[in-house]
Amino acid sequence: MKSAAERAKLPPADVPRDGPNLTGEELETKLSTTWSNPPGFVGWLSSVDHKDIGRRYVITALVFLALAGVLAIAMRLQLARPDNDLIGAARYNEIFTMHGTTMMFLFAVPVMQGMQIYLTPLMIGTRSNAFPRLNAFSYWMYLAGGLLLWIAFVLNVGPDVGWFAYPPLSGPQFGVGKRVDIWAQMITFTEVAALAAAVSLTATILKQKAPGMSLARMPIFVWATLVTSLMVIFSMPSVALASGMLLSDRLVGTHFYNPAERGDALLWQHLFWFFGHPEVYIIFLPATGFVSEIVATFSRRSIVMYPIVVMSLVATGILAFGLWVHHMFATGLPRIGYSFYTAASMSVSIPTGLQIFCWIATLWEGRPQLKVPLLYVIGFIFTFVIGGLTGVMIAAVPLDLQLHDTYFIVAHFHYVLIGGAVFPLLGAITYWFPKATGRLMSETLGKIAFWMIFLGFQLAFFPMHIAGIYGMPRRVYTYPAGMGLELPNMLSTLGSLVVSTAVLLFVVNLVISARSGRRAAPNPWGAPSLEWATSCPPPPYNFPHIPLVSSRTPLWDAGEKLPVVHGLRVEDRELVLTTVMSAEPDVREPSPEPSPWPLIGTVATTAMFVCSIFSPWAVLVGVVPVALALTAWFWPKSPRLSGSL
């Protein structure tokens, strides 16, 4: 390691660099000046700090979660009694479409990416992420897509064809008006945002790990981030193609999905689920990353069998691309072909089962401390395993043909997505809240909220299994009396009210704690990873000196003082890049300054995308402002910065 550090030679003394001669308060003042946002509102809009972007992502996603939750309550109230007429058919269809679309595209994927954007540079010990302006662009595009969808909904042009919008129902003949166009264009926004964030995260992880943090020493959450970012890169183009073709069918008269003109309605389902199934793992794998970090910290020991956990993540990421047909067992594709997808779907439970084993073994071998984040992890295992096992059931064709598209499936995917991703997320928010705000969340309120969410969730979603078997299809605005559906539905509604109250309590806890919670030391939980090596909240430059890593759990092994490397410029934004595998120092690299152009570029792109719903010519005209904004964005700044080595 030392020879590698030496190779990054001490530079000439013409520019100030961090090192033995420049440290402590003097260094921090200089770094602060260099890495802070410009002053004022424009400076706020220009921020490229990954902590700002990540925080904005998470907060925006939580707002969308709340909105989708309100829609969920509306649906549950309508379904509380048979033949209820609180909400009419057309409005109900809009509501469930908005609920699913918001949860999947505006909450689940973005909130995970937001957490990843916030945490990854801190966990791998670098000052910023790669392509920070692209990252800022990613957030603004996500926000624009979310606003487009929700403004449309408020103006009564919200989509009403379900979150997977099967043509021909979503095609030009049956999906009349602009509702579906808005849905499909929202997909374009979110996929641009997700791809941009994924590219930034992948590059950050591969090239910016602190010296010594080889792939084998990366925190498991960072591994999960790497795997999911690669999954985003491989799966999003499929839905981009699908929604692009849908828009072109609707707006310029192509016939990709029109059977009357030799198009194929099933083509959409293949393309959509080739993205849609991996998407579930894009949501779930970061959650398993949270779980691994929380389990290790609160068991007071390293995760048992790190290589198995990492290989499970990678294996799940690969298998996720071989399962999409299990969403299509009822479409009449060749029956023998289905067995491949059955076997593939079942086999996903092997890596997942291994991960669960490693978490339980870690708790077993350690001394678990039942703080709120760990409670969420335990709730996660109890809940998610039910979802995993019902997943095994519906992987079998004869079972799926009965259970597909019923409330059994609704129960299954809420167990997997709420139990499997939202529970760990709430634990993770509690866990990293002191890092982001400098204050700890209240344990008492946290525990009350946890138990209400955990029990309320079971009450809301377990009866749905029974409703499904008792013949209740999903996406119905009402159901007849006398089919045995009254009790399960009433229980679900009561449960949903408990959960929503508890989520409100969680938010109250967030707000109160952010204002007046107990102040947090840099490492309040005694955790092992690098994000806890810096202050709470971290300074704009993350670390005064870049840490030097020699184990998987640096803060547990380093003794009194974490070793660091020296020699980065302090008056310009500079990063140390390391090699991909073994993280040996490679080059010093300038990092872009704050810029308003990602935001202006987003405004131009938004104008183009939204206008293209109304006229295809908007694409032709709209690229001009986009090109101008991109040119300004990439305009080279000072020659001093380029070629700084």
Partner 1 sequence: MRREGLLALLCLSGCSGAQTAFGGQGAEDANFIQLFTVFMIVCTVMYLLVSAALIVAVWRRRRTAMVVEDCNHQATSGVVRPALIGWTALIAIGLTALTLVGFFTDRSNARNGSHPQLKLTVTANQWWWDVEYDWADVSKSVRTANEIHLPVGIPVEVTLKSNDVIHSFWIPNLAGKQDLIPGRRTDAQLLPRKTGLYRGQCAEFCGTQHAQMALDVTVESKADFEKWYGAQLQTAPVPKTPLQLAGYRYITTRECASCHNISGTSAGGQVAPDLTHFASRRSIAAGTLPMNTGNIYGWVADPQSQKPGNHMPTIGLKADDLHGIVAYLETLK
For residue 117, which amino acid is it?
I
Phi, psi of 22 (to 5 degrees): -130, 100
The number of residues making up the chain comes to 645
396 part of the interface to partner 1, by CB under 8 A: yes
488 part of the interface to partner 1, by CB under 8 A: yes
216 part of the interface to partner 1, by CB under 8 A: no
Instruction: Supply the minimum distance, in Å, between the C-beta of residue 384 and partner 1.
Output: 10
Q: What are 122's two structure tokens?
A: 């801190």
Choices 134-142, 367-375, 562-570, 571-579 (CB under 8 A): range interacting with partner 1:
367-375
**Nearer residue to partner 1 within complex by CB, 273 or 338:** 338
628 part of the interface to partner 1, by CB under 8 A: no
363 part of the interface to partner 1, by CB under 8 A: yes
Report how many helices (DSSP H) and strands (DSSP E) the chain contains, helices first.
22, 4
Instruction: Supply the minimum distance, in Å, between the C-beta of residue 84 and partner 1.
Output: 11
Choices 62-70, 203-211, 294-302, 507-515 (CB under 8 A): range interacting with partner 1:
294-302
Q: From the CB of residue 44, how many other CB atoms can be counted at a distance below 10 Å?
A: 12
176 part of the interface to partner 1, by CB under 8 A: no
386 part of the interface to partner 1, by CB under 8 A: yes
The dihedral built from the CA positions of residue 344, 346, 352 and 354, taken in this order, carries a sign that is negative
Pick from 155, 389, 508, 645: which binds partner 1 (CB under 8 A)? 389
Pick from 419, 463, 538, 540: which binds partner 1 (CB under 8 A)? 463
Q: What is the DSSP letter of 419?
A: I
Choices 272-280, 313-321, 365-373, 609-617 (CB under 8 A): range interacting with partner 1:
365-373
Q: Which residue has the tokens 């380093």?
A: 558
350 part of the interface to partner 1, by CB under 8 A: yes
482 part of the interface to partner 1, by CB under 8 A: yes
Instruction: Supply the minimum distance, in Å, between the C-beta of residue 419 and partner 1.
Output: 13
**Nearer residue to partner 1 within complex by CB, 87 or 231:** 87
| Residues from 19 through 58 that contact partner 1 (CB under 8 A) | none
**Nearer residue to partner 1 within complex by CB, 481 or 508:** 481
308 part of the interface to partner 1, by CB under 8 A: yes
Determine the Cα–Cα distance for residues 100 and 89; give it in Å rounded to an integer.
17
Instruction: Supply the minimum distance, in Å, between the C-beta of residue 443 and partner 1.
Output: 17
Determine the Cα–Cα distance for residues 417 and 160; give it in Å rounded to an integer.
22
393 part of the interface to partner 1, by CB under 8 A: yes
For residue 143, which amino acid is it?
L
526 part of the interface to partner 1, by CB under 8 A: yes
288 part of the interface to partner 1, by CB under 8 A: no
Total residues at the site for partner 1 (CB under 8 A)? 97
314 part of the interface to partner 1, by CB under 8 A: no
The number of CA neighbours under 13 Å toward the Cβ of 322 is 16
Instruction: Supply the minimum distance, in Å, between the C-beta of residue 374 and partner 1.
Output: 8
Pick from 254, 347, 579, 644: which binds partner 1 (CB under 8 A)? 347
**Nearer residue to partner 1 within complex by CB, 96 or 139:** 96
Q: What is the DSSP letter of 550?
A: -
Q: What are 457's two structure tokens?
A: 């969730």
For residue 357, which amino acid is it?
F
490 part of the interface to partner 1, by CB under 8 A: yes
**How far does CA 85 lie from the centroid of its chain?**
36
Residue 544 CB partners (closer than 8 Å, separation 6+): 18, 23, 27, 28, 31
Alpha helices, DSSP H, located in 164-257: 179-207, 220-251
Instruction: Supply the minimum distance, in Å, between the C-beta of residue 402 and partner 1.
Output: 4
**Nearer residue to partner 1 within complex by CB, 37 or 84:** 84
DSSP letters spanning 266-281: HHHHHHHHHHHHHHHH
Per-residue contact track with partner 1, 584 to 623, x per CB under 8 A?
A: ----------------------------------------
Instruction: Supply the minimum distance, in Å, between the C-beta of residue 328 and partner 1.
Output: 8
473 part of the interface to partner 1, by CB under 8 A: yes
Q: What are 119's two structure tokens?
A: 């945490």
Residue 235 CB partners (closer than 8 Å, separation 6+): 274, 275, 278, 279, 282, 321
With CA atoms as reference, report the closest residue to 595 among 201, 147, 191, 135: 135
Instruction: Supply the minimum distance, in Å, between the C-beta of residue 349 and partner 1.
Output: 6
Q: Contact at 8 Å (CB) between 304 and 358? A: yes
With CA atoms as reference, report the closest residue to 52 among 114, 112, 109: 114
Determine the Cα–Cα distance for residues 438 and 202; give it in Å rounded to an integer.
28
